[in-house]
Structure 1
């Protein structure tokens, strides 16, 4: 099944075209803190972790974990290998963090370890990684009146290279815990890039809640990519996986199903499935035939928008939607020397140039016509120069990139949102996000997938993925006015989040400062816009909190009423909203 090209449908009712700005509020924010008995188990990057992917995945890791099933309950792992919990009910009476679990082995001696990570799968299950390559599955009993629920280890197994837990879900019907893990692995075949690739492994564990029940891994699947995903989450029923990434991910399992000679050439590089080139009138597609294939084994069908190629050994060799409409009655194909097939597609729009042959297909390679390239270069020669600005006194001087603001420059032009099917491990839905910069993700409702926020023009729009595939997989859930533009000016920002009820958004810098942006709320006094003379009924506020400590911020989480900030030796609680 070919991946469907989709788009995100903006709910215009959630946009405010008349939004002006955030008003700085000097109202104090109550801030409380508690000293930690032992420092947070921070793991700094090693000398061999030098790429941008290592920094994004490990160097900017959020060490504070929120239990979305229990309000204002936060967890972290300290240097003693203890999982510590603090649950806030009264800000003025913060208690000390309580130990709920201790890692069975001492991980500090491991030279290649990563930071410990965890995810709260359900009210009864927690997935935990010690950073050395071992996965733990923990069952949580019902909490007592004055103490958190008891944590009982149900499963642990070493899975290979060190990893961090990204997401997990519990399928109650099948009694299976699905865990998504991320690691950055050395890639010996990558001689031109960073030398690493990003691995996402999807592990399914059949679990049993009885005291002597046994948990075991029933399925393992892997995806590889060349960049750390901005967002990766498993659907609640375990039927799909959604990934937002700058570079695409592919399943290694589906690649292993292909013949080796089709995937690699003699130099160990991936060989294109086909080659194509174009002129103003037509597009030519060429592919090699497997040995023993005759003309009778080839079936090629054209339609104005589609092409389908089938061979004897492969029921569907190539199939998909063409980039543009063709004259299918004038399109032809021939067999050349019984070794390759040449397909000629007649363009209906003469002169239009295609950017790809089949929409979303990356298996082919475009071959540029040397004569055509020379002609284009000749036509553009008058626009180029060996000097930076050869005529600075002209009426229209050359554009100076330094005049652009940083927030106007986007490096995420090829970022995509993909949904993969759990059975075929192939993409079923693809959204080209273009310049819609990824901002952050948050769990708005624990029984749903995490939301993700994208920048649309100047706003930050929050999208809620659906639990099961349908016509509209992503719903526009909330809008933070002008926040896409505002956050771009915060060059030292480290973490970005919002309240589960969308009442405010917050970001923190690497050290000390916290910025809070509240949604517009009605004002009790009468205000007028001096320029337009109209009545202002709502005001959006910005507040700034500064921590009285210079230690780096290691963790940042938000609830509807509080912000939690974790440093090496302290946990801060900032009261943002008052419970109604």
Structure 2
């Protein structure tokens, strides 16, 4: 991590509006249509042993509705029969019934440790799936039939171990061979983590050769990363050369041969090469007359070598507090020097100093963040080393989406009160992230939505939307010119454009399980129904 270049995100000032006032509530109706599901969504509730915040983030807040970025008005979900169901919208007023495009070959309900099934559209013709029980599937889509979703053919499936969810996948060609890279996530028990949650987050980056013509598929490489928090964002570059992760706590690659972090393994090998030892001397006084005929002195000195260098001993023999510890003067001086910055010679050296620039008691709740150390880190896939690191500080992560399917997913961060959209690009040298769009004041607005569950925006950034756990959806549109003349009395000027806010309320009290957006529509999935909200007209 230390070798990586420290970078920053370059804000495009032309995409900021310092004169933005607020969103104006619009009462314009939002057409909403619904279709009943033949079989309920395959929702998987958290078990008693999945009690951590990471389990909640990864599995409890999972988005069960999936969008094909090459066809954004085509959405997918998995039902309780293990079927991947598709609804393709061409006319809102004539929504068809969900159509089965694939069925998992095994009975998912029989697995006690099952997670939610997950789907990622790798390309126009490939889909990566997980059944939630630990098996990875590669699907090839044939588009020679009448179905809008095409014909899904299972080409590869492999049991990988613990249950996982698919985060991202890409298809690329290297040396005239087609390769699919998939990134999967699981939360594993960590017996060594006695002071933390007792779990760690595992990311596995898998490379698979795929040749649909001769049906040859082979796992080329499996690379593992471990971290202590579920990443906000994790995606592979389109060429398969690097991996980008946004997380509260850092991730690092794990050496395959010892299942140990590579950095730690190198440090241990370096220590072994130097044959570092630390000696510990003990002096025992002999009783009167005991052994004095043999020894020239009245004491015995014993020297021991510590197994763990630098480890301080409180006792030599557990439970025996006899004797006196005599510190080495050089060691005492070194310890005092390391603690110097924590002490002062004066009781209160500057009691009349000015107030700090930020008083935590004056902050609003929506300004608080427990993740001020969040970083964006780019890893090289060959060296497994971090090449670029951005300290996001207080720039809260908001959401991500695939705005352009041929590129990596873009992500939204809070900058001051705004929500800024960032598009990763790999062809601009060190400027790896483009400021693509801004949603004015939305960083501040969304922080007040305490019941917020999902957050997204249109691929063309024309509007952003968030939904609560039940019923309500909020839509925030980009500023548009007004047809009538408006006058701002406070500043004495004419207003040429207005940003509208709209609220939709579903006719359902079931929890919202999925949320996706296209340029024209919002898709909202509950246990038994899919709602389609018309937001924009085509064109």
Taking structure 1 as the reference length, the TM-score comes to 0.78
* Residue 465 (structure 1) aligned to one of 424, 448, 469: 424
Could you list the per-position Cα deviations for residues 437-480 of structure 1 after superposition, in whole angstroms to 9, with x for gaps in the alignment?
Answer: 00000111100100000000000000000134722000000000
Cα 1:427–1:527 change in 2 (3 A) is same
Query: What corresponds to 2:298 in structure 1?
Result: none
Contact 1:206–1:217 (Cα < 8 Å) also in 2: yes
Aligned-residue Cα RMSD (Å) equals 2.8
Contact 1:254–1:424 (Cα < 8 Å) also in 2: no
Contact 2:254–2:261 (Cα < 8 Å) also in 1: no
Contact 1:235–1:468 (Cα < 8 Å) also in 2: no
The alignment partner of 1:76 has SS state of: strand
Cα 1:436–1:374 change in 2 (3 A) is closer
| CA shift for structure 1 position 258 | 8.5
Cα 1:257–1:83 change in 2 (3 A) is closer
Q: For the residues of structure 1 that align with 2:344 and 2:144, how far apart are their CA atoms?
A: 71
Query: What corresponds to 1:125 in structure 2?
Result: 126
Query: What corresponds to 1:565 in structure 2?
Result: 524
Could you list the per-position Cα deviations for residues 126-175 of structure 1 after superposition, in whole angstroms to 9, with x for gaps in the alignment?
Answer: 00000000000000011534543100000001000000000000003430
Q: For the residues of structure 2 that align with 1:578 and 1:529, how far apart are their CA atoms?
A: 30
Is 1:291 matched with 2:274? Answer: yes
Query: What corresponds to 1:427 in structure 2?
Result: 386
Contact 2:88–2:148 (Cα < 8 Å) also in 1: no
Query: What corresponds to 2:312 in structure 1?
Result: none
Q: How does 1:1-16 map to 2 (within 5 A)?
A: 2-16=3-17
The alignment partner of 1:72 has SS state of: strand
Contact 1:254–1:425 (Cα < 8 Å) also in 2: no
| CA shift for structure 1 position 530 | 1.1
Query: What corresponds to 1:539 in structure 2?
Result: 498
| CA shift for structure 1 position 289 | 7.7
Contact 2:510–2:526 (Cα < 8 Å) also in 1: yes
Is 1:375 matched with 2:334? Answer: no
Cα 1:255–1:106 change in 2 (3 A) is closer
| CA shift for structure 1 position 259 | 10
Is 1:24 matched with 2:7? Answer: no
Query: What corresponds to 1:49 in structure 2?
Result: 50
Query: What corresponds to 2:180 in structure 1?
Result: 177
The alignment partner of 2:216 has SS state of: coil
| CA shift for structure 1 position 503 | 0.0
| CA shift for structure 1 position 95 | 0.3
Query: What corresponds to 1:350 in structure 2?
Result: none
Q: For the residues of structure 2 that align with 1:377 and 1:25, how far apart are their CA atoms?
A: 63
Query: What corresponds to 1:355 in structure 2?
Result: none
Q: For the residues of structure 2 that align with 1:477 and 1:372, how far apart are their CA atoms?
A: 47
Is 1:207 matched with 2:217? Answer: no
Query: What corresponds to 1:328 in structure 2?
Result: none
The alignment partner of 1:58 has SS state of: helix
Cα 1:292–1:514 change in 2 (3 A) is closer
Query: What corresponds to 1:248 in structure 2?
Result: 250
| CA shift for structure 1 position 408 | 1.3
Cα 1:400–1:102 change in 2 (3 A) is same
* Residue 190 (structure 1) aligned to one of 189, 193, 200: 193
Q: For the residues of structure 2 that align with 1:501 and 1:139, how far apart are their CA atoms?
A: 28
Q: For the residues of structure 2 that align with 1:443 and 1:36, how far apart are their CA atoms?
A: 26
Is 1:553 matched with 2:524? Answer: no
Q: For the residues of structure 1 that align with 2:427 and 2:530, how far apart are their CA atoms?
A: 38
Contact 1:448–1:467 (Cα < 8 Å) also in 2: no
Taking structure 2 as the reference length, the TM-score comes to 0.84
| CA shift for structure 1 position 381 | 8.5
Structure 1 segments, 4+ long, off by >2 Å, are 143-148, 253-260, 270-273, 287-293, 366-371, 373-383, 399-404
Cα 1:408–1:368 change in 2 (3 A) is farther
Query: What corresponds to 1:235 in structure 2?
Result: 237
Query: What corresponds to 1:263 in structure 2?
Result: 264
Query: What corresponds to 1:309 in structure 2?
Result: none
Q: For the residues of structure 2 that align with 1:396 and 1:474, how far apart are their CA atoms?
A: 37
Query: What corresponds to 2:225 in structure 1?
Result: 223
Q: For the residues of structure 2 that align with 1:453 and 1:566, how far apart are their CA atoms?
A: 23
For the pair shown, the structure with the greater C-alpha radius of gyration is 2
Query: What corresponds to 1:495 in structure 2?
Result: 454
Matched pairs, number: 479
Contact 1:185–1:199 (Cα < 8 Å) also in 2: yes
Contact 1:410–1:435 (Cα < 8 Å) also in 2: yes
| CA shift for structure 1 position 213 | 1.1
Q: For the residues of structure 1 that align with 2:436 and 2:413, how far apart are their CA atoms?
A: 12
Cα 1:543–1:367 change in 2 (3 A) is farther
Q: For the residues of structure 2 that align with 1:143 and 1:538, how far apart are their CA atoms?
A: 47
Q: For the residues of structure 2 that align with 1:92 and 1:453, how far apart are their CA atoms?
A: 33
Query: What corresponds to 1:362 in structure 2?
Result: none
| CA shift for structure 1 position 254 | 7.8
Query: What corresponds to 1:116 in structure 2?
Result: 117
